[in-house]
Amino acid sequence: MSSIALRIRLLARRRVLVTHPRSYVTTPDTSPKPPLAPGQQPQVETFSSPSKPRLYYPRPPTKSDLPKIKKRWPLLLAFATVGVAGWAVFLLFATNQERLASSIVKQIIQTVRENEELRDVLGDAIRPEPAWYLNGNPWISGSINLPAGHVDVSFRLKGHRGSGTLYFTSIRRAKGEAFTPLRFRVISDGGKVVNVLPKPSDAQ
């Protein structure tokens, strides 16, 4: 067979392989290679140029590498606590100032200043005892509810001889009637009780 016919057969076979690719899986050839003949050099594969390095992509950080976010709820809780406490203090101060400015408390103070028995116990210049946390104003405990007909207050008194605590309670039994004092007394720090209410004989 001539070389031209052999080339034609090879080209025809190559066309068949290209148009009809194999649909089965091939396995690499793992058969042992024959030993080299004496004086034969092993085949060495050479490259025309060095290989190009691939692009470098940094590894994404894991959960352990992520920065820790500081919790903000303790700070918000502290601000909320301070705000609520400040609002409560403001309400107490405003309520105390309202009681102090009421006509009932002013009339009580005027009455105790004119009581002779109380002057003998507390001395002259009887006045409400100031509180340091109220910037010199006295603290009035209790409640004053004139529309409901109920007054129940207590506060500290001070004179040049001593101090004591005043207790005053008055109610209105029916709408349109005057208030009836039920308790109006001063207990000094020494334990002596002074009733400021007029005695029944004095009222007659």
- What pLDDT, in 10s, does the model give residues 65-83? 566 667 787 888 888 899 8
What's the pLDDT tens digit per position in 44-59? 666 666 666 667 667 6
**Residue 30: partners with Cβ closer than 8 Å, 6 or more residues away:** none
Share of the chain above pLDDT 70, in %: 67
pLDDT digits 0-9 by tens, 151-189: 999 999 999 889 999 999 999 988 888 888 999 999 999
Domain parsing of the chain, residue ranges? 96-195
Determine whether domain 96-195 maps to CATH 3.10.450.320. yes
Q: Tell me which residue of 198, 197, 201 sits closest to 184, measured CA to CA.
A: 197
pTM above 0.75, yes or no: no
pLDDT at 19 over 70: no
State the pLDDT at residue 133: 84
